[in-house]
């Protein structure tokens, strides 16, 4: 695994564990370190076409369309909320896949909402609109 990929993962985990004011400082330090340079277009990567499907009472399959210009270094962050709470928590990071099967503490007869964001060339994109599924 490249040092840049490891550093990116550490930075992303740090961002989600910190309060908002600390996140800005971490992002600035990351940019000053020579990483996190803007993509040639300078645009944030946007994930599209998120689909979720209950494949069993204890597992949900997710897939999405990667952002334009996605590479092997594009990372994806996934958050989940339970029972229509709109309280998204947890953070799973995947590189470079555009699909995921969630079986971590998934319960039967429960609503789950998911949202995905991409990080590309050091730019963290917005979360896509949440998509909800109910497990059997």
Count the residues in the chain.
Answer: 136
Model confidence at 42, in pLDDT bands (50, 70, 90)? Answer: low
- Domain layout of the chain by residue ranges: 1-36, 41-134
Predicted local distance difference test score (pLDDT) of residue 58: 97
- The CA distance from 3 to 136, in Å, is 42
Predicted local distance difference test score (pLDDT) of residue 52: 97
- The CA distance from 76 to 61, in Å, is 15
Alpha helices by DSSP H, listed for the chain, are: 3-17, 20-32
Does the structural domain 41-134 have CATH classification 3.30.1490.20? no
Average pLDDT, the chain: 76
Do the beta carbons of residue 121 and residue 74 sit within 8 Å? no
Please give the average per-residue pLDDT across 103-112, as a whole number. 96
pLDDT of 82 higher than 50:
yes
pLDDT of 48 higher than 90:
yes
pLDDT of 128 higher than 50:
yes
Please give the average per-residue pLDDT across 1-9, as a whole number. 41
- The CA distance from 58 to 76, in Å, is 22
0.75 cut: is pTM over it? no
Better-scored residue on pLDDT, 118 or 41? 118
Predicted local distance difference test score (pLDDT) of residue 41: 56
């Amino acid at each position: 695994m490249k040092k840049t990929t490891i550093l990116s993962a550490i930075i992303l985990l740090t961002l989600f564990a910190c309060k908002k004011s600390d996140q800005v400082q971490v992002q600035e330090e990351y940019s000053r370190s020579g990483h996190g340079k803007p993509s040639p277009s300078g645009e944030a990567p946007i994930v599209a076409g998120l689909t979720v499907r209950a494949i069993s009472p204890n597992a949900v399959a997710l897939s999405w369309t990667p952002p334009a210009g996605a590479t092997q270094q594009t990372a994806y962050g996934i958050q989940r909320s339970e029972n229509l709470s709109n309280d998204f928590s947890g953070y799973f990071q995947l590189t470079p896949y555009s699909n995921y099967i969630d079986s971590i503490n998934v319960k039967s007869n429960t609503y789950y909402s998911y949202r995905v964001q991409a990080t590309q060339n050091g730019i963290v994109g917005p979360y896509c609109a949440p998509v909800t599924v109910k497990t059997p």
